[in-house]
């Protein structure tokens, strides 16, 4: 039977999905504050062994420890029997709500984290996650966050927050490894760096070993790594998007390329045409900008190139009695010159994806072209939800449910992109799952650890 997994701050469940996709884990519980994301998480992680995952739709700081235990017990998992707990608690920038305002009487007297983390209310989420981990006592814990968490200053010490987290985990009996991993190094077509803490109380675990590398790093390729997966490899087989969401349907021959490469083929898990393959409509002034952008070109490079071309045009089109500024103003009024290219924007604004490289980090703002690096490599539009999902390594049968109405709705692009941009890439989650599973197998093979009640949940 698969091992058991619970995730807090799960969003739509990218991290969990990778664990489930490995066939080594069943997802039994998820927590998040965004209803559509949690609905998506639950609907995409139904297991024949453990059923529909239990969900907690509230702020983790208001969740009682008893309620978490009761949900797991209902799945046949007693404290200490959960195999793996994962989550990405934000470490800064959230509300100033104090823990005692909502959870009086539910604090753990024996948990020693308060004097190290509670002095800064921005650490409430990290602290509560560790507190839940202390109660559930899972065999393995994985914490994901932005790379800056490892150097975040706490109590005047650079890296103090990471040191405090590590210290608390060690006091709970875990050995801890931490570091920064790039999703591209594990076969995700995206340059996405994140910090990870990998904690185990059943043996030592290092972080997973990368399987891919920059194709320019010849020494790593010679050691057996595969080249990074590119945007073209991830997206080339997808057809033009539909302007109206059709909720899937259609035959597989609707893919634009019948025999794609290994990555795209691996993503083709949907028995029907993939969901969520719709794009925003854009104002003509936006189309006029991205039409001039070349794949992989930064805004600075594009605006410099366009201004140079405009300078030649102005010199050639200047009328008798006109100076350069007058000619420029006339050509702008005539729609020949786009004034946007004389403005200063963020370096990656309106940038097209480079088809020959992995994408830059997909964010929750990926449907806003001005935010940068999210314009399709060749089409004059932004990427669709499905294309963003492909770049995050979500397989095609992962349906993003963008509302919690009775009828599943998959057409709200803003909600869908937000889910995708906040997720841990499933392929990276799968790498963690396959890395952790052998240690759990060895643990359960020991005579003193049999039978395995956590793998035999009781259902009524």
| Catalytic annotation, residues | 91
Spell out a b/e string for 366-377, using b for 16 or more CB atoms within 10 Å of the CB, else e: bbbbebbbbbbb
| 389 C-beta neighbours (distance < 10 Å), count | 32
Per-residue 3-state assignment (H helix, E strand, C coil) for 241-272: CCCCCCCCCCCHHHCCCCCCCHHHHHHCCCCC
How far apart, in whole angstroms, are the C-alpha atoms of residue 416 and residue 39? 12
How far apart, in whole angstroms, are the C-alpha atoms of residue 175 and residue 28? 24
User: Exposed (0-12), middle (13-18) or buried (19+): which is 285, by Cβ within 10 Å?
Assistant: exposed
How far apart, in whole angstroms, are the C-alpha atoms of residue 179 and residue 177? 7
Please, which residues bridge with residue 84 across strands?
5, 140
| 318 C-beta neighbours (distance < 10 Å), count | 16
Sign of torsion, CA 113 116 121 127? negative
How far apart, in whole angstroms, are the C-alpha atoms of residue 92 and residue 89? 9
| 412 C-beta neighbours (distance < 10 Å), count | 18
DSSP string, 46-64: -BTTTBSPEEE-S-GGG--
DSSP string, 133-148: HHHH--SEEEEEE-GG
Q: CA separation (Å) from 222 to 185, 214, 218, 239?
A: 15, 12, 6, 35
């Amino acid at each position: 039977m698969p091992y058991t997994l619970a995730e807090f701050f799960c969003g739509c469940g990218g991290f969990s999905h990778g664990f489930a996709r490995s066939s080594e884990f069943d997802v039994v519980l998820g927590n998040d504050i965004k209803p559509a994301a949690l609905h998506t998480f639950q609907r995409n992680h139904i297991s024949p062994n453990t059923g529909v995952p239990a969900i907690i739709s509230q702020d983790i700081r208001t969740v009682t420890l008893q309620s978490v235990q009761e949900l797991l017990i209902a799945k046949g998992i007693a404290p200490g029997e959960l195999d793996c707990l994962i989550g990405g608690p934000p470490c800064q920038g959230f509300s100033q709500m104090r823990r005692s305002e909502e959870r009086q009487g539910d604090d753990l007297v024996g948990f020693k984290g308060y004097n190290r983390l509670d002095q800064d209310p921005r650490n409430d989420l990290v602290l509560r996650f560790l507190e839940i981990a202390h109660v559930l006592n899972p065999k393995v814990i994985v914490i994901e966050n932005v790379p800056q968490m490892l150097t975040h200053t706490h109590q005047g010490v650079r890296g103090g927050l990471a040191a405090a987290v590590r210290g608390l985990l060690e006091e709970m009996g875990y050995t801890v490894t931490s570091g920064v991993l790039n999703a591209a190094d594990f076969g995700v077509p995206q340059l996405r760096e994140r910090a990870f803490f990998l904690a185990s109380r059943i043996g030592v675990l290092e972080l997973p070993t990368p399987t891919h590398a920059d194709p320019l790093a010849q020494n790593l390729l010679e050691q057996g790594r595969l080249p990074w997966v590119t945007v073209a490899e991830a997206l080339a087989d997808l057809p033009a998007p539909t302007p109206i969401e059709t909720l899937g349907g259609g035959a597989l021959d609707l893919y634009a390329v019948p025999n794609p490469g290994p990555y795209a083929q691996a993503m083709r898990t949907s028995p029907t045409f993939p969901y969520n393959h719709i794009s925003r409509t854009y104002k003509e002034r936006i189309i006029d900008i991205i039409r001039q952008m070349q794949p992989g070109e930064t805004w600075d490079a594009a605006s410099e190139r366009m201004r140079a071309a405009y300078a030649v045009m102005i010199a050639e089109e200047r009328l008798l009695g006109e100076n350069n500024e007058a000619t420029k103003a006339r050509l702008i009024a005539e729609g020949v010159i786009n004034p946007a290219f004389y403005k200063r924007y963020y370096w990656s604004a309106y940038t097209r994806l480079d088809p020959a490289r992995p994408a830059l980090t997909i964010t929750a703002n990926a449907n806003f072209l001005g935010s940068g690096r999210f314009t399709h490599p060749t089409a004059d539009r932004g990427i669709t939800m499905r294309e963003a999902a492909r770049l995050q390594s979500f397989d095609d049968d992962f349906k993003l449910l963008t509302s919690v109405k009775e009828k599943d709705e998959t057409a709200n692009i803003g909600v869908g992109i937000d889910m995708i941009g906040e997720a841990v890439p499933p392929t990276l989650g799968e790498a963690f799952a396959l890395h952790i599973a052998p240690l759990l197998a060895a643990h359960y093979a020991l005579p003193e650890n049999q039978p395995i009640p956590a793998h035999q949940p009781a259902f009524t």
